[in-house]
Amino acid sequence: MTHEILRPHFPWITLVALIVIVGIANPAFFSVSGFVILMADVIPLLIMAIGMTFAIYIGGIDLSIQQLANMVTVMTTVYLAQFGISVALLVVLVGGLFGIISGFVTTRLYVPSFVSTLAIGFIALSIAKWLSNQRALFMDATLRDAHFGWMFGNTMGVPHELVIGLLLAFFAWLLQTRTPFGRALKAVGSGELAAVASGIDVDRVKIFAFGLSGMFAAFAGLMFSVKLSGGDAQLANGFLLLAIVAVLVGGTPLTGGVGGIINTVIGTLIVMVIRAAMVYLEIDATQQQMIFGIVLIVAIALTIDRSKLRSVVK
Please give the residue ranges that form the binding site for another protein (CB under 8 A).
59-61, 105-107, 109-116, 118-123, 125-127, 129-130, 134, 192-193, 241, 244, 254, 284, 286-294, 296-297, 300-301, 304, 306, 309, 311-314
Output the smallest distance, CB 164 to another protein, in A.
28
CB of 289 to another protein, least distance (A): 3
CB of 163 to another protein, least distance (A): 32
Q: How many CA atoms lie within 13 A of 38 on its CB side?
A: 21
* CB of 128 vs another protein, minimal distance in Å: 8
In the bound state with another protein, the residue whose beta carbon lies nearer, of 29 and 239, is: 239
Taking the complex as a whole, how short is the minimal distance between the CB of residue 284 and another protein, in angstroms? 7
Do the Cβ atoms of 48 and 169 come closer than 8 Å? no
The neighbouring-strand residues paired with 231 are 137
SS3 of residue 231 by DSSP:
strand
Q: Whose Cβ is closer to another protein: residue 166's or residue 241's?
A: 241
- At a CB cut-off of 8 Å and minimum separation 6, what does 237 contact? 66, 70
SS3 135: coil
Nearer to another protein, 141 or 313 (CB): 313
Minimum CB–partner distance for residue 174 and another protein (Å): 26
**Residue whose CB is less far from another protein, 36 or 283:** 283
Nearer to another protein, 165 or 267 (CB): 267
Nearer to another protein, 31 or 134 (CB): 134
Q: What residues contact 311, with CB distance under 8 A and at least 6 apart? A: 59, 191, 192, 255
The b-or-e profile of 253-290 (16+ CB within 10 A means b, else e) is bbbbbbbbbbbbbbbbbbbbbbbbbbeeeeeeeeebee
Report the C-alpha gap between 130 and 307 in whole angstroms.
Answer: 45
In contact, 68 and 243? CB cutoff 8 Å: no
Q: Least CB distance from residue 240 to another protein, whole Å? A: 9
CA 288 to chain centre: 18
Backbone angles phi, psi at 230, to 5 degrees: 175, -175
* 167 vs 309 by CB, closer to another protein: 309
